[in-house]
Structure 1
Amino acid sequence: MKRLIITTLAATLLAGTALSGTAMAAGQRYDDHGRYDQRHDNRHDNRHDSRYDRRDHRDDRRDHRRWERGQRLDARYRDNRYYVSDYRARGLRAPPRGYRWQRVDDSYVLAAVATGLIASVIIANH
């Protein structure tokens, strides 16, 4: 009798696990980086909607901020396209080792290459 109850209980548990595993696997999808994304729903996939592209560009324009010594320069502004190689022609002093001048918004920012820590900020003359 015990054997019958244990066998029935084990079969019920295995059947329940198999059904719930199938249901869960049906809801799981991989995102762009190969991770599971269970919340993904095709009805709300806005990655290719042009309204969202325009909104992103508007946010960049509003992100004008005042840089100060001691802050960290955002990683996006530490890119080579903001790098100022002709600092002497612009009236800037030579950067110390490990630092470089970046032109961000309307300012020249002297920041550490490795950490982005700002050592000096000079307003750019147009």
Structure 2
Amino acid sequence: MKYITRTLLAAVALSFAAMPMAQAQQLYGHDRKPGHSYTVKKKVVTTRHTWRKGERYSNWKGRPAVRDYHRHGLHRPARGQQWVKVDNSYLLMSVATGLILGVAAAR
């Protein structure tokens, strides 16, 4: 009788452990038909920075310079300056100091 009780309790415990795994397969689509696509869109929280003249932007060298500035409606940078696109803005940077000399909204 003692062994039957232990076996029965082990079977019940095993069924409780297996139930969430079976539900997870249905939840995440592991039993999908071939050719069916399933995408999960994640909500991305981004923080926007309001750029101002005179601020220092430390990571501007890691971004490529905007070479076709006329195409984006920007004026030609003077010697020692370059345009850099950051988020949804174009920043006119001083190459020597890293100071922001101008800001333009990207279109």
TM-score by length of 2: 0.53
Q: How many residues align?
A: 64
**Deviation >6 Å, runs of 4+:** none
| 1:63 shift after superposition | 4.7
Q: Does 2:65 correspond to 1:83?
A: yes
Classify the secondary structure of the residue corresponding to 1:122: strand
Contact map agreement 1:82 1:104 (CA 8 A) in 2 = no
Structure 2, unmatched stretches of 5+, are: 1-43
Q: Does 2:50 correspond to 1:66?
A: yes
Q: How does 1:106-121 map to 2 (within 5 A)?
A: 106-121=88-103
Give the Cα–Cα distance (whole angstroms) in 2 for the partners of residues 117 and 88 of structure 1: 22
Give the Cα–Cα distance (whole angstroms) in 2 for the partners of residues 78 and 66 of structure 1: 19
- Alpha-carbon RMSD: 1.8
Q: Specify whether residues 83 and 63 from structure 1 end up closer, same or farther in structure 2 by C-alpha distance, changes over 3 A only.
A: farther
Q: Please identify which structure carries the higher helix content.
A: 1
Contact map agreement 2:56 2:99 (CA 8 A) in 1 = yes
| 1:77 shift after superposition | 2.5
Classify the secondary structure of the residue corresponding to 2:91: strand
| Matched-pair identity in % | 41
| 1:78 shift after superposition | 2.3
Q: Specify whether residues 64 and 78 from structure 1 end up closer, same or farther in structure 2 by C-alpha distance, changes over 3 A only.
A: farther
| 1:98 shift after superposition | 0.3
Give the Cα–Cα distance (whole angstroms) in 2 for the partners of residues 105 and 121 of structure 1: 12
Q: Deviations over 1:8-62 (max 9, x none)?
A: xxxxxxxxxxxxxxxxxxxxxxxxxxxxxxxxxxxxxxxxxxxxxxxxxx8xx64
Contact map agreement 1:107 1:124 (CA 8 A) in 2 = yes
Give the Cα–Cα distance (whole angstroms) in 2 for the partners of residues 77 and 98 of structure 1: 14
Tell which structure's C-alpha radius of gyration is larger. 2
